Copies of this chain bind each other. A is one copy, B any other.
Amino acid sequence: MQLHPKTLQLPGGFLAAAVKAGVKKDATQYDMALLFSQEPATCAATFTTNQIKAAPVKLSQPRAAKGKACAILVNAGNANACTGPQGMRDAKAMSARTAEATGVPDAQILVCSTGTIGKPMPMDKVLAGVDALCGSLTPDNAEAWHTVEAIMTTDTRPKAVTAEVKIGGKTVRISGMTKGAGMIEPNMATMLCFLLTDAKVAPALLRRLLRSAVDASFNTISVDGDTSTNDSVMMLANGASGAEIKAGSAAEKAFAKALNAVTLYLAHEIVRDGEGVTKFITLKVTGARSDREADTAARFIANSFLVKTGWAGTYPVDGRMLDAIGYSPAKIVEEKVSLWYDDMRVMKNGMRTKDGHSNYLQVTQKPEYTIRVDLGLGKGSAVLYTCDCTEEYVTINRF
């Protein structure tokens, strides 16, 4: 399996288009994209668990559940969330116009939006954008790269990856793109991710593989603890490579490995490009009474802004991390806690070590490091990929 970071090579049978429709404030930026399979494709998707769901999520969720889709239409700049019945009419109109122009059944079009919550969609611009997209679909990878740019909001860079894997003598591609960059928390972050593959995968298997990949990637990251109204991961599989993935086969293992590599790469990219982020922290909790409590402890640490602002500095914030677990539902006994920054132990038996507290700069000045908290209570463990919080996060979000 080969992973090509920072590229988006369209798998066989897929076309793409991106336009500057004027939905984003800056009219020089791409803000709408269409991903399109020329052949019938299966699909799977996961969506936000938020009770407040954007109109496109409400529209696309039941469609994706049917397992068949061949187009993903997306706009950035407006989330079409908290927009009431008009919002749903707008999402449907986006889909209907795409169906009309491409000849694909309406029910096989998935719609996504990302951007500001609560504003009506500028439908004149959006529908003109749909027309332009449908008229310019191309297999050209340069155009495909513009689709990655089109879904960006406060992201500072496009995030995409292409995996290639040999299956039954055929080369299968899994190509993925994603966007962050705030309102990012596990259980589907404010994020969109689109995955395209030219393998042939039955809907039920695709669903299982995607769920597993999402659990091990997007559901293990946290930027700011806010789960959004629009989170969507969508995957289309069109079989154009001629390779078929059957449940329980060696091909499934190879395909799953590639898919997991793609989603984990993209998830990490979201954290690295989180709003104002300067540190990428791999947070491991071990020795919890259960995996579930380890996960809870990790999430309370990663969602404490006192911890996150501390990570933006260089002094170890072991005390703040203990404090955060202390008010979580996860069991902690002060005297049993050990804590490492990379290999440097900064806390033992709930107390700071002299060595760790004189040599911490060799770890904390690095842009990426691992923090491990061992609770000394059992065998439960969890990993979370997270980041610091700087003044820039506030500046971006206070508008």
8 Å CB contact of A331 from B51, B304, B313, B347: B51
Distance A263 CA – B352 CA, assembled complex (angstroms) = 36
A215 within 8 A of B: no
Asked whether B391 lies within 8 Å of A82 as measured between CB atoms, the reply is: no
Distance A229 CA – B350 CA, assembled complex (angstroms) = 13
Distance A331 CA – B326 CA, assembled complex (angstroms) = 27
Distance A305 CA – B396 CA, assembled complex (angstroms) = 12
Asked whether B84 lies within 8 Å of A349 as measured between CB atoms, the reply is: yes
Min distance, Cβ A25 to any Cβ of chain B, angstroms: 14
Distance A84 CA – B336 CA, assembled complex (angstroms) = 11
With A305-B389, A326-B51 as known contacts, state yes or no: A398 contacts B312, CB within 8 Å.
yes
Residues of A352-391 whose CB lies within 8 A of B = 352, 389-391
Chain B residues whose C-beta falls within 8 Å of the C-beta of A226 in the assembled complex: 304-306, 320, 323-324, 327
Distance A31 CA – B182 CA, assembled complex (angstroms) = 40
Chain B residue nearest to A50 (CB atoms) is: B326
A227 within 8 A of B: yes
A395 within 8 A of B: yes
Chain B residues whose C-beta falls within 8 Å of the C-beta of A332 in the assembled complex: 51-52
Asked whether A335 lies within 8 Å of B84 as measured between CB atoms, the reply is: yes
Chain B residues whose C-beta falls within 8 Å of the C-beta of A349 in the assembled complex: 84
Distance A49 CA – B325 CA, assembled complex (angstroms) = 12
Residues of A300-318 whose CB lies within 8 A of B = 304-306, 309-310, 312-313, 315, 318
The interface of chain A, by Cβ under 8 A from chain B, is 49-53, 79, 81-84, 86, 116-119, 182-183, 185, 187, 224-229, 304-306, 309-310, 312-313, 315, 318-320, 322-327, 331-335, 347, 349-352, 389-391, 393-395, 397-399
> What are the 5 tightest A-B residue pairs by CB atom distance, in nearest-first order?
A117-B319, A52-B326, A118-B319, A391-B391, A309-B397
Can you report 13 A-B residue pairs in the complex whose CB atoms are below 8 A from each other?
A: A51-B334, A52-B325, A81-B319, A82-B334, A82-B351, A82-B352, A84-B351, A117-B320, A119-B352, A226-B323, A228-B323, A310-B398, A315-B399
